[in-house]
Amino acid sequence: MAEKDNKLHIALFPWLAFGHMIPFLELAKLIAQKGHRVSFLCTPRNINRLPKLPPNSINFVNLPLPHVEGLPEDAEATIDVPYHTIQYLKKAYDGLQESVTLFLQSSNPNLIIYDFAPYWVAPIASKLGIKTSFFSIFISPTLGFMGPPSVLKGESSVNYEIRTKPEDYTVPPKWIDFPTTVAFRYFEIKRIFDSMSPNDSGVSDVYRIGAGIESCDVVAIRGCIDFEPEWFRLLRNIYNKPVLPIGQLSPAGDQNDNGGDETETETWLKMKSWLDKQEKGSVVYVAFGSEAKPGQEEVTEIAFGLEKSQLPFFWVLRLTQAAALPAGFEERVEGRGVVWKTWAPQLKILAHESVGGHLTHSGGSSVVESLKFQRALILLPLTADQGIYTRILEEKKMGRCVPRNERDGSFTSNAVAESLRLVMVEENGKIYRERVKEMSELFGDMDRQNRYLDAFLDHLKCH
């Protein structure tokens, strides 16, 4: 009976982007494996698109998204809409307050773990006596660079200056009390500077983060103290509340099985057939996640760069991207390179022994998955906090960023080719290949992951 009483009911509520929903789902699975009851709050179409789980392991709670003018009828995730329309998705998401309140009142979970977007959850839960945890898929250096809740909410103070222009974000802020290169490059912050100002939803993205952190009981962060100790210390100081690592949420299990439906199995077998013919560690895997979409100029330079590198490559390039490959490119690289234009099983590809490196946007999940399989990193950040993650990986000699123009972010095919060859095969780039092997334990060690999760759950039981 005591064992049963020790189990918790935990609700999770992610933002409607697959780069957020998937880490939340990984966390939900790990919590459920500990024997706790888990409710996963999300919209119906997104729940249907998430990876299938064993029956009854997690209770999926359907929250129909309210209609908002400017948002297409079936749009329920950022992948469904152009960038400028995401503000309407946030407005619709804020319309879920009543549904979430009703769920909390009727289900009375011990804890709700929420994302950056629903900054309004903690005050509702607290009134009902439910504990709250802000869960950041953004790494601790991103949060540390962005600053304390007061700064994020735009409240000026004697101790902290408010940043008002893009240039302010290109240098480390004064509250960081140790040497670091962590800052946005001008073109990176320029691309996302609108997130610092209120949009059609009525508040800015950074305000959401600040308010969500300010009102929670505990901050949980995707990350590892062994990897970023100084950043966790900084956050505890500027948040003045518990800040706990939740682990890297590296996917578990054997990625080379042929699970999934018949179509997915057939797709993988085609890919595997090509990968099996390549030399061990020779292939560059090229993919930029589901959210980051390279523009036409970027696709062109990447293509010519891959061609000039003379390395074998497997490029996942979604057909939905409004960009065409250079004329004759696929014919010229036939046999040496593959351009795959539909869904691809990233984990299985990264797990294949012929893959040696990953040309990536520095998205959190992609980095974790690459490092789990000891794949060298060639970095090309495109949006969000990917530039910050890139700085950290460069500081630790775990990845090499493709050289770019500081003002507009443009890059050349020569820069792509040289970066690929340096990291993949040249003697001067050996450090990158060795470092990812050294650090992979921090990203793929499930025992370490278990210890972080146990510490987080124990904290909840004791406070």
Position 199: which residue type?
Answer: N
Torsion of CA 181, 182, 185, 191, to 10 degrees: 180
User: What angle is formed at CA 134 by the lines to CA 208 and CA 235, rounded to 5 degrees?
Assistant: 90
What is the 8-class DSSP label of residue 241? S
Averaged pLDDT, groups of 10, the chain, 463 residues long? 70 96 96 96 97 90 97 95 94 98 98 98 98 97 96 84 92 95 96 92 96 98 94 97 94 53 84 97 94 89 98 87 85 96 93 98 94 97 94 96 97 98 98 95 87 94 83
Q: What residue type is 39 in one-letter code?
A: S
- pLDDT score, position 261: 64
Give residue 293's pLDDT: 81
Which pLDDT belongs to residue 322?
60
Write phi, then psi, for 178 (nearest 5 degrees): -145, 160
Predicted local distance difference test score (pLDDT) of residue 263? 75
Q: Which amino acid is at 247?
A: G
Q: Which residue has the tokens 């490196």?
A: 357
For the domain covering 262-443, report its CATH number. 3.40.50.2000
Residue partners of 388: CB distance under 8 A and separation at least 6: 139, 141, 142, 145, 182, 183, 184
Looking at residue 258, its pLDDT comes to 42
Cβ contacts of 238 within 8 Å, gap of 6 or more: 144, 147, 148, 175
Give me 392's structure tokens.
Answer: 């950290």
Return the amino acid letter for 271. Answer: M
Which spans in 129-204 are helix H? 140-146, 149-152, 186-192
In the chain, where are the structural domains located? 2-251+445-462, 262-443
pLDDT (0 to 100) of residue 211: 98
Q: Which CATH architecture has domain 2-251+445-462?
A: 3-Layer(aba) Sandwich (3.40)
Cβ count within 10 A of residue 241: 14
